[in-house]
Structure 1
Amino acid sequence: MRRSLAPSQMAKRVKREEDDPEWTEERSPDRKALTSLMTSQMTSLMTSQMTSPSSAKDHEHFIASILSRPFKVPIANYSGPLGLRALGLKRGGPRRALHDPFAEGALVLYTPPQLSAHQQLHADKDKMEVHVVVDPLLANVLRPHQREGVRFLWQCVCGRRVAGSYGCIMADDMGLGKTLQCIALLWTLLRQSPTGKPHIQTAIVVSPSSLVRNWYNEVVKWLGSRVNPQAIDGGSKADIDAQISRFLSQRGVRVATPLLIISYETFRLHATALHRGSVGLIICDEGHRLKNADNQTYQALNAMKAQGRVLISGTPIQNDLLEYFSLVHFVNAGILGTATDFKKRFETPILKSRDADASDKERAAGAEKLTELITIVNRCLIRRTSDILSKYLPEKVEQVVCCRLTPLQTRLYEHFLQQNNPVEKLQDEKINVSSLSSITTLKKLCNHPALVYDKCVSGERGFRGALDLFPSSFDPRCPQPQLSGKMLVLDLILAFTKSTTSDKVVLVSNYTQTLDLLEVLFRNRKYTYVRLDGAMSIKKRAKMVERFNRPDSGDFIFMLSSKAGGCGLNLIGANRLVMFDPDWNPANDEQAMARVWRDGQKKSCFIYRLLSTGTIEEKILQRQSHKKGLSSAVVDQKGPSSATGEAQAEVQAEVQADTLFSLGELRELFSLNQNTVSDTHERLKCRRCVNGAQVQRPPLDADCNSSLAHWHHTTQRKHLSDHVLKMSWEPAVSFVFHQQAHIKD
C-alpha cells in the first residue's frame, strides 16, 4: 500500500508509531528514516512560526512566502523515480507507452483493454498493459500497405493470430518494401511490448551472402546509431565462432549488439556454435531457399532456438506444393500436419483437380481442399502484389520476344537431336543425368553456336561431323551476332537504345559462358559496361551497384549472372532489362526482372524476355506458366473461378494446355517446331485470334502478372508501343507477347 508523505499525514504516523509498538515493528528501516526526516522538518517549521511577527499583516506575508516556495520532495538526496526505488519504494502511476499512441499518424500495434474506473482503482499499476506503438521515425515513412504488413508481422510473432504459433511468411511481391517492414518489426520488438518491457533482446537475420551487407546498410539507414548490428560476411572459422559466441552470451534488457546478420552458408557451417544459444527472433530473407526440408541449411535453421520466425519470399511456391509445405512448417510447425498428411490431404486432390482429364467430382474435391488450405495458411501468410505500387512506380512494358533460329542454329539443333536421340534415354517419364546434359546443350545452342563449338571440334555424341556445318570464316573468339537469332535481336535493341535514348540496360543470363561471349561483343561495339557474377566479392558488388546507379555514371550496360545477383539488387539506374535466356524456375526470372522496376525508379521500364522460336526455350516458358498458375491459385487465390465470361473460358483453356507439361510429356522437350511463329501461342489455343491476328482485346483487368493467354500478342511490329523493339523487329523476330502495367492516366 502506498502512503502519503505529506507533513500532516507523517505527523499522524509518528504519533501512531509511538503508541503502537507492533505497527513500528512492521515498518522498514527506510520508513523510520523518512519518519525521522519529516519530524525534523516539521519541528523546524513550528519553531519558525513561533518566532515570526504575530500581526495579521505579517502573518499573511509569512504564509505567502511559504506558499511561494517551489515544491521540494522532503526526502534526502531525491533524484526522481530512481530515488524512490533506492529506498525500496515503487514508482507511482501506471506504465506509459514508449511513443504517444494518440499522435497524428501513430501506428498502434496493440491497444490494451479499456478498464472501468472501478477496475483502474483496484488494478495493480505495475501489471497494467500499455500501447505498443511503432517508432514515429519509421511509422512516418511507411506506406499504407507497409503499415498493414508491420501490424500483421507483429501479431503473428507475438502469437496473437494462431494460438501457440509465433511465425509467419511475408510473401509480398518484389519491390513492396519487405526489408523496411521487417526492420520496423525488429525495432519495435527490441524496445517494447504490452508489458512495457522489450519483447526480445536479440535477433538474427539470415540472407543470401550477396545481401548481408545490404541488410546492414538498410538497418543503419533507417535506425542510425540506435542499433549496433553485427554483419558476418567473412573470416576464419575460429574468428566467426568467437563473434557468434559473444553475440549469444549477451544478457540484459538492452544488449550492446542486438542484431546479427549472417548468410545461409555461414549459418550452416557454424550451426554448432549458433545452437549453443537462443534468440527472440530469426528472419530468413529470400526464404524460398528453405523449400527442401531435407537439406542441411533447412535443418540447421530449424534447430535454432528462436520462438519468433519470419520468412521473407516473394515466391513461396516455385515448383510444387510440397515446397510450400516446407516453408509453412518452418515458421509454424504442425499447422499443416506432417509432410505425409499434407500430401494425402491437400497436394494429391489439388493436383488431380488441375489435370485436363479430371472429372467433375475431382475438380470439386480439389477446389474444396484448395479453399481449406488457403484458409489455414492465410492466418500466418501475408501476400500483396505489385498492383498496389501503381501510384508510386512508373509504367512497365513487359515483352516476350520469340526469335527465329538462324540456318546454322537450325542445322546444328536437328543434327544433335538425330545423333544424340535424348528421347530414347527418358525412362519412367523422368529426366536422367544424360538428358539434363542434353537440355543444357540445347539451351546453349539457342544462345549462340559458338557455345557448342568445342563439342563439335571434339566430336562429342550429338555433334560428330557437325564441324562441317560451320562457315569457313567462323571464329569462336569473335562472336558474330548474325549467327544467332537472339543475339541479333539483342544487338539491335542495344544499338537503338544507345542511339535514340539516354537509357541504361541490365542484361541477365544464366550462363557465365554466355556473358563471356557477350562481353566480347560489347568491347567490339565500344559499349561501356560492368559485370557481376559469382567470382566477384560482396564488397565489390555493393560499390559497383552504387556506381552504376549514379546518374553521372558512364556505364551503359550492367551484365548480371542470375545465380549471383538475381535477387535483392537495386539497379534503378537502368530502366531496360533483357533476359537473354529463361530459367526452369519462374521465380528466378521474376526476381531478375524486378531489378529495375522497383521503388525509386523514375523512368518507364521495358523488359525483354528473349526466346528461340519452336525450341526447348518455349517449352521452358510453358512449364513456367504451369508453375505460376499453381502459385497463383494457392498464394494469390486466383484461378478460373475468379474470371467471368470469355476470360473464364480462356483461363480454363490455359489450364488444360499447362497440364500437357506433366512429367509424362517431357519427351516433347527434345523436338524442334520449325513451322511456327510461336509454339506457346499455338498451345494456348487463343480465342482472341483469327488467322493468326489478334482481333479481340484482353480483359480490362489483365496486367503483367496475368497469364499469357490474357496478354496482347502480335506477329507485326506496328502493334507494339516500344519504339526500340519496333526498330529491332527485322529480320529475326517472329512473335511478341506484350503487356503494360501501371499505365498513368
Structure 2
Amino acid sequence: SVVVDPMLVRFLRPHQREGVQFMFDCVTGQRLEGKQGCILADDMGLGKTLQGITLLWTLLTSGHSLLGGCPIARRAIIVCPTSLVSNWDNECTKWLQGRLKTLAMCESTREDVVANIGMFLHPSNVYKVLIISYETFRMHAERLQVPGSCDLLVCDEAHRLKNDATLTNRALDNLPCKRRVLLSGTPMQNHLDEFFAMVDFCNPGVLGAPTQFRKYYELPILAGREPDAAPEQVVLGEERSRELSGLTNNFILRRTNKLLSQHLPPKVIEVVCCRLTELQRQLYHHFLQSKAARRVLNGRTSGVLSAITSLKKLCNHPKLIYDAVHRRFSPGHVRSCSCLSDVGSLFPPGLFDNGRVGRGGMAAGWETLSGKMAVLARMLHVLYTETHDRIVLVSNYTSSLDLFAQLCRERGYPFVRLDGTTTINKRQKLVKVFNDPAERQFAFLLSSKAGGCGLNLIGANRLVLFDPDWNPANDQQAAARVWRDGQRKRVFVYRFLSTGSIEEKVYQRQLSKEGLKQLV
C-alpha cells in the first residue's frame, strides 16, 4: 500500500484525507477505467492547496506494487495564475519543510524562463516540480511538450480552462501527461459548455464530442429549467442531470464550506439594498430615454456591453459617469458612454471638479450623491469609531477604488490598495502588513479581478462586495478572502445592491446560475 508521509498526515483534516485518497485513486486509474484525471472542486477555504501538495509529495516519493513499485511521478508541473506562483512555492516549502526542490518562475525574464525549463528537463535535474503561470506556459509550451516532461499536471484556479478554444487550453492539452489534477472552487460558472470544457480537458472524451454533449445533456437540462417547460421536459431534464452527475462524480469531488463551520467562527451574509439618489435617478432616466438606449433595446447589439457597464458604474457613483463623459484621452472613452454623453447639464457646476474639468477636487458631501456610497460612508464611520474590526472593500472597477481611497483619506482611515497595477512582490507585503495586528490598518481596497483569488485576508472580518458581478464565482472568490483558516472573529459579508436598477437583474442572474451549478 501507499503511505502518506506522517509529516503531512498530522495536519490533514478528515475531509482533506478523503480528498487526497480520492485524487490518488483517480490519477492511478482506479475510479474510471482508462482515465487518470480528476477535479477537486471544494469550496474556497477547504485547503485544496494542501491536498494538492500532499498528493504531489506522495506520488513523487511513494510507489505501489501494482504500479511497479517505483514512485509514480518523477516530474510534476503546477500551473496557476501569475499571482499565485510564489504562493505555491511558499506553501510547498512550508508544508514539506524544504524537502522538495521546486522551480518557481515568478516575474522571470524570457531568458530565465528558457534556462529554467532546460534545467527542469535535464536528466540529472534536482528540481522535481516546476511552478509556472498560465501565461508563461502558453508562451513556452513547445519546450515542455516533449515525452517525459511531466508525469503529473496540477492546474490551480482551473476554471481558467473553461474555454477549450483558448491558446492556453490548447497548449496545456497538448502536454503529454494523462494524470491531470484540476483545482477549482468554482468549476461551474456560467454555462454547461464551460463545464464540459473543463471535464474534457481533465479526462478527454469521457462525455463524448461537444455536439453529443450538447444534444444529450445540455439542451434537455436547460429546457427542463425553463419557467414554461412541459412536465415531460422537466422529467427528462432531471433524468439527464442525474445521469451527468452520476458519471462525473467518479472523478469530481466537491465539498461545500459548510465543513468550515466546524472549525471557523460563524459567517453572516447580508444583502444591503440601497436607493438611488435623485441625481442617479435623473441620469438613469436620461439613459433609458436616449436614442442609444433605444437602439440597444431594439436589438442593436454593438453597444450593449458598454451600455451595461455605464449603468453599473452609475449605480456605484455619478462621478464615474462624469469622468467618462469629460475624459478626452481617446475617442473610445466617449463612445463607451454614448448613452450618457450629453448629460453634462444634469451635473451642478463645480460638483466634482470645482469648475476645472479633470483637475479640481470634489465638493464636500460628494459621497451622499450615491446611495451605496452614502451607506458605505456611514458604515465605515461606525466601524472605525466603535469597533476594532478591519474591512475589505471589493469592486470590479478601479475607479470605484479611487473613490474609496478618497473617502479614507478625507476621514483619516488607514488603508492599503491592491489592483492590477500592484506587483506580485508588493502584493505579499500589503497582505502581510494588513493582517498584522500590530499594524495600524483599517481598510483593504481590493480589485476583484486582480485579487479575487489566492489572497488570505484574515486580518479583516468584514467584507463589502460593492457591485455584483455577472459571474457569481467571482463574487464568491472575493468573499472567501476573509472566511478562511486562521479567522478568529465572526465574519460579515455585505452585498450592496442599488434597488430598481440593473444590479437587481445581475443578482437575479447570479441566483439562476447558482441553481444551474447544483445540477451537476
The two structures have a TM-score, normalised by structure 1, of: 0.66
Deviation at 1:568, TM superposition (A): 1.1
Q: Which residue, 601, 606, 622 being the options, matches 2:487?
A: 601
SS of 1:530's partner is strand
* Structure-2 separation of matches of 1:387 and 1:203: 32
Tell me which amino acid in the other structure corresponds to 1:202: R
Tell me which amino acid in the other structure corresponds to 2:253: I
TM alignment of 1:713-728, pairs within 5 A = none
Max Rg structure: 1
Residue-by-residue CA offset, 1:170-221 (whole Å, 9 max, x unaligned)? 0000100000000000000000121332111010110111111110010000
* Structure-1 separation of matches of 2:294 and 2:173: 41
Sequence identity percentage: 53
> Partner residue of 1:188?
58
SS of 1:607's partner is strand
SS of 2:177's partner is strand
Deviation at 1:423, TM superposition (A): 4.4
TM alignment of 1:223-234, pairs within 5 A = 223-234=96-107
Deviation at 1:426, TM superposition (A): 4.8
SS of 1:305's partner is coil
> Partner residue of 1:216?
89
| 8 Å Cα contact 1:504-1:575 kept in structure 2 | yes
SS of 1:132's partner is coil
* Structure-1 separation of matches of 2:519 and 2:205: 23
Q: Which residue, 453, 458, 466 being the options, matches 1:580?
A: 466
Q: Which residue, 90, 107, 110 being the options, matches 1:237?
A: 110
**1:386 matched to 2:257:** yes
| 8 Å Cα contact 1:231-1:261 kept in structure 2 | yes
* Structure-2 separation of matches of 1:184 and 1:457: 55
> Partner residue of 2:211?
340
SS of 2:94's partner is helix
The two structures have a TM-score, normalised by structure 2, of: 0.94
Q: Which residue, 407, 410, 432 being the options, matches 2:301?
A: 432
Tell me which amino acid in the other structure corresponds to 1:321: L
* Structure-2 separation of matches of 1:377 and 1:325: 10
Q: Which residue, 315, 318, 334 being the options, matches 1:449?
A: 318
Q: Which residue, 506, 513, 519 being the options, matches 2:392?
A: 506
Deviation at 1:425, TM superposition (A): 2.5
Q: Taking structure 1 as reference, are residues 501 and 370 closer, same or farther at Cα in structure 2, changes over 3 Å only?
A: same
TM alignment of 1:115-194, pairs within 5 A = 131-194=1-64
5+ residue gaps, structure 2, are 328-333, 354-360
Tell me which amino acid in the other structure corresponds to 1:470: F
* Structure-2 separation of matches of 1:469 and 1:542: 43
Q: Which residue, 324, 334, 343 being the options, matches 1:466?
A: 343
* Structure-2 separation of matches of 1:288 and 1:364: 30
* Structure-2 separation of matches of 1:441 and 1:212: 35
Deviation at 1:472, TM superposition (A): 3.0
| 8 Å Cα contact 1:478-1:521 kept in structure 2 | no
| 8 Å Cα contact 1:478-1:520 kept in structure 2 | no
Deviation at 1:373, TM superposition (A): 0.3
| 8 Å Cα contact 2:279-2:369 kept in structure 1 | yes
TM alignment of 1:611-630, pairs within 5 A = 611-630=497-516
**1:402 matched to 2:273:** yes
TM alignment of 1:40-189, pairs within 5 A = 131-189=1-59
Higher RCO (C-alpha 8 Å, min separation 6)? 2
| 8 Å Cα contact 1:409-1:484 kept in structure 2 | yes
Residue-by-residue CA offset, 1:114-148 (whole Å, 9 max, x unaligned)? xxxxxxxxxxxxxxxxx211000001110000000
TM alignment of 1:189-588, pairs within 5 A = 189-195=59-65, 196-251=69-124, 256-277=126-147, 278-426=149-297, 432-457=301-326, 461-463=338-340, 465-476=342-353, 477-478=361-362, 480-588=366-474
SS of 1:581's partner is coil
| 8 Å Cα contact 1:191-1:198 kept in structure 2 | yes
Deviation at 1:513, TM superposition (A): 1.1
> Partner residue of 1:685?
none
* Structure-2 separation of matches of 1:550 and 1:386: 25
Deviation at 1:439, TM superposition (A): 0.4
Deviation at 1:633, TM superposition (A): 2.1
SS of 1:451's partner is helix
Deviation at 1:246, TM superposition (A): 1.3
Tell me which amino acid in the other structure corresponds to 1:559: L
- Length, aligned pairs only: 499
Tell me which amino acid in the other structure corresponds to 1:226: R
* Structure-1 separation of matches of 2:321 and 2:168: 35
> Partner residue of 1:67?
none
Residue-by-residue CA offset, 1:658-699 (whole Å, 9 max, x unaligned)? xxxxxxxxxxxxxxxxxxxxxxxxxxxxxxxxxxxxxxxxxx
Tell me which amino acid in the other structure corresponds to 2:317: H
* Structure-2 separation of matches of 1:248 and 1:191: 19
Deviation at 1:233, TM superposition (A): 1.1
* Structure-1 separation of matches of 2:297 and 2:25: 50
* Structure-1 separation of matches of 2:492 and 2:60: 42
Deviation at 1:353, TM superposition (A): 0.4
Tell me which amino acid in the other structure corresponds to 2:351: F
Residue-by-residue CA offset, 1:368-391 (whole Å, 9 max, x unaligned)? 111110011000000000111111
| 8 Å Cα contact 1:455-1:463 kept in structure 2 | no
